Amino acid sequence: MMSKDSLKARSKQGQHGFTLLEILVVLTIMGFLIAMVAPRLANMSYDASETVCDSNKNRAKTFVSAFYEKFNRYPNGLTNLVMTDGTDLAAANAAAAGYQIPYCSDDNPENGPEVMPFGHNNQYKFMIHRLNADEAAELKSLGITQVFNLNDYAKDSLNAGAADARDNTHTTGDRVSNWRDITAITTQRPSMEPCAVAAGVGVAMCGGGVEAVTGNAFRYVQVERGWAEEDIFGRIVFGLGPESELVSSGIVSNAAHCPGSIQNDDNFTWGGYYLILPRLAATGERLTNGTYATCWGTGALSNSTVESATVVAWDRLTPPGTNYDLATNTSQLKTRTAVNLAEAMPAWDFDTNRQRNDEVWGISTLMPAPTVLNGGN
């Protein structure tokens, strides 16, 4: 029989470790596997995020429809996508520059978060619109008597100075979207501040708006490109936040947030979904009896073109280039004519976040020249 010492010695002789070369081979194989699998996992994560977002959009529309069918009105307590400037709401509602649209993302997390996703702002073309008495009364008839002003002052707008001033210019560098701030904000108001719907209140409108407290002098987005559909022009947009009656009535347990906003919270702070109201009859009246000035760019918009516009569609993935001539390329575009951009919509004709499909519509009467379409975003 073998002694215990002999068994231990033999056992040790049978134990072999890994050589450095073997470890390097295994690590190399693992590296190849990770390189092959990681992009697929990333795509799966992106696809899952897009699926959840699409589902949230559809559910938001279903929930608003359910609320409308149950109460014959829209949910109250919506989020007003604006920032106010003034010591109180009365001052903001009376001031020449009492409201502005919050800043949109520049996709740079190193300089702090902005408020609105640039893609949303670029798609909806948010601009400040001051309600008149008829519009306020019409909103109340739809069930909207109180909103909550967002008042998100991301990027420290009170101390930004001239570098962050929002005026009637548009530059790609700082990703200023389509709004106009007459003066810098000087007084910061509380976030989600209750605001009764009344004449003078500023709201976010698609594509244009009357900035003055009184009158019908519309400022509109001149260089028109990249809309999901043209029919959102002149429609008021609110946010579906946790303060809305969708939540307080029990229709939903909480307000949904876009997965993309959660993943990119360093770039923007507002991640909620939107409620696009039908174009009000009172707004249509202001559009057809108004005067027009561009937010930036050149060109003209008149009452006749508002009531009978030409809209065109092109492929979102391969848009036409700058100075695309419609007269010689009509076969490459779909065209709708005699579109009334001021027509009042039925009370039930709301929408939620718009999907960007393969086609992108633009309003040719809002171009620098009626026969020229500037493509891309």
Output the CA–CA distances (angstroms, integers) from residue 98 to 85, 89, 147, 148, 274, in the order listed: 5, 9, 16, 15, 23
Distance CA 264, CA 320 (A): 30
> Which residues are registered as beta bridge partners of 219?
209, 293
User: For residue 367, what are its two tokens?
Assistant: 């171009």
Distance CA 315, CA 375 (A): 10
**Mean predicted confidence (pLDDT) in 280-309:** 83
> Which residues are registered as beta bridge partners of 79?
148, 239
Residue 370 — φ and ψ, nearest 5°? -60, -25
Q: Which of 357, 231, 355 is nearest to 284 (CA)?
A: 231
Residue 14 — φ and ψ, nearest 5°? -85, -5
pLDDT in tens, 43-74: 555 556 666 666 777 788 888 999 999 999 99
Return the top range by mean pLDDT from 79-88, 235-244, 321-330.
Answer: 235-244
Checking if the pLDDT of 342 tops 60, the result is yes
Checking if the pLDDT of 376 tops 50, the result is no
Residues 6 or more apart whose Cβ sits within 8 Å of residue 17? none
Average pLDDT, the chain: 74
Residue 250 banded pLDDT, cuts 50, 70, 90: confident
